[in-house]
Amino acid sequence: MNSLQGRLDRCAINTATLGHREPLHLTIDRIARAGFGGIAPWRHEVEAADVARISKQIRSLDLEVSGYCRSTYFPASTAEERVANIRSNTRALADAAELGARCFVMVVGGLPAGSRDLSAAREMVVDGIAALMPEAKKLGVRLAIEPLHPMYAAERSVINTVGHALDVCRQLDPDNGVLGVAVDVYHCWWDPQLAESVASAGKDARIAAYHVSDWLIPTTDMLLDRGMMGDGVIDLKETRRLIESAGYMGMTEVEIFSRDRWWKAPPDEVLRCCAERLQRVC
């Protein structure tokens, strides 16, 4: 496994890590200045700015866009809403292409309001991804399905393991033209099938992104209490070894949602800590 020591050029910062506290152009400069090689911006930031200008700034600083976050959820109570969700995602793909993003990150959505039908929600997800694929292919944007921890199944994602995401990829895209998997340690560190699923995804060259943070004990908020790498219980070196042994050569992207800790720290301090931990514990 390659060391990340002195290799921040192989590391990216997901802008959520800084808490979306300032306009994107400032965040981009900050991340480049701190020496990172990549950035993963969010749609609400890009859509609030001028995508052409943002894209130009990112390119001029030689940053790679490790991913564009993220899809509108696919499942919904009515057919009209489902169509609108697909349209929203189609529009985002154009921005992903303009940004030169390595992938469009797909967080697929949970149960529609009032529903208990998990199978139906999963079918809506498969249908939604299928509907998005032609445009993604045309634009040359890879769609990266990100399985989320099962605690999010009701509200955010009915795809919950790397193996499950991989099954959807193989079902919809047997020739591996456009679908891949985003592996986020926070969501999949607990999975007894992780090594096997990652190896299998790697054999197909389906690993499109790798996200790091840490799982804190105790975790005080399901969504907004992720830890800095090294502060929790995830074996990050072992996980990166699995990912890279499977052939993944892309960025290691830091993605930390931390309302009460890191989103209160000065952004440059957060980036300094990310840099130190990436090189020492990841």
Contact region for Zn ion (CB under 5 A) — 3-11, 151-159, 163-171, 208-216? 208-216
Indicate the residue among 98 and 184 with the shorter CB distance to Zn ion. 184
- Enter the tokens of residue 259: 């309302």
Which residue from 98, 173, 184, 214 is in contact with Zn ion, where contact means CB under 5 A? 184
Amino acid type, 206: R
**Count of residues engaged in binding Zn ion, rule: CB under 5 A:** 3
| 8 A C-beta contact, residue 253 and residue 105 | no
CB of residue 146 to Zn ion, shortest distance in Å: 5
CB of residue 265 to Zn ion, shortest distance in Å: 20
What part of residues 96-155 is at the interface with Zn ion (CB under 5 A)? none
Which residue from 211, 226, 240, 277 is in contact with Zn ion, where contact means CB under 5 A? 211
Helices and strands (DSSP H and E) totals, the chain: 10, 9
* Helix (H) or strand (E) segment spanning residue 163: helix 162-172
Indicate the residue among 45 and 82 with the shorter CB distance to Zn ion. 45
Indicate the residue among 12 and 86 with the shorter CB distance to Zn ion. 12
Q: Is residue 96 exposed (0-12), middle (13-18) or buried (19+ Cβ within 10 Å)?
A: buried
Contact region for Zn ion (CB under 5 A) — 23-31, 33-41, 189-197, 249-257? 249-257
CB of residue 175 to Zn ion, shortest distance in Å: 26
Of 139, 59, 37, 158, whose CA–CA distance to 92 is shortest? 139
Give yes or no for residue 255 binding Zn ion (CB under 5 A): yes
Contact region for Zn ion (CB under 5 A) — 107-115, 211-219, 239-247, 264-272? 211-219
Query: Strand runs (DSSP E) across the chain, as ranges?
Result: 11-14, 38-40, 64-65, 68-69, 104-106, 143-145, 179-184, 207-212, 252-254
Give yes or no for residue 240 binding Zn ion (CB under 5 A): no
Of 273, 184, 199, whose CA–CA distance to 234 is shortest? 184
Indicate the residue among 112 and 180 with the shorter CB distance to Zn ion. 180
Residues binding Zn ion (CB under 5 A): 184, 211, 255
